[in-house]
Amino acid sequence: MSTPACPACGMENTYSDGENHVCPDCFHEWPLTGSANADGEGEAVVRDSNGTPLADGDSVLLIKDLKVKGSSTTLKKGAKAKNIRLRDGDHEVDCKIDGVSYMLKACFLKKA
């Protein structure tokens, strides 16, 4: 069995370590099963609080009041964010509410 080329840098100098493939050249790791395709698409689907898949350009509503960390501002339940962008990481939705940019967790949103 040969290990696949690294999807991040394309180098073929990869090896299996536990449940992951590892690239020693760029330090990228990806799971052995369901390995990522070359474009990186299809890895994870971001879902709202109701389980509906979200996509770039969707409009969403807040399902509860959220305090903004480091500020005295509170985002109110029902506030609408249009034209969202999906990102990797803990806060996967990048959006603007009332002209101010925020990064939010999808579990506090529902698709409008």
pLDDT at position 28: 86
Among the listed residues 70, 63, 68, the one whose alpha carbon sits nearest the alpha carbon of residue 107:
63
Cβ contact 82:59 at 8 Å: yes
Output the six-digit token pair for 20. Answer: 């992951």
CA distances from 58 to 41, 48, 66 (A): 18, 11, 20
Domains and CATH numbers, the chain: 1-42 (2.20.25.10), 60-111 (2.30.30.40)
pTM recorded for the entire structure: 0.60
Average pLDDT on 105-111 reads 94
Average pLDDT on 47-56 reads 92
Among the listed residues 45, 46, 23, 43, the one whose alpha carbon sits nearest the alpha carbon of residue 33:
43
Alpha-carbon distance of 27 to 14, in angstroms, equals: 10
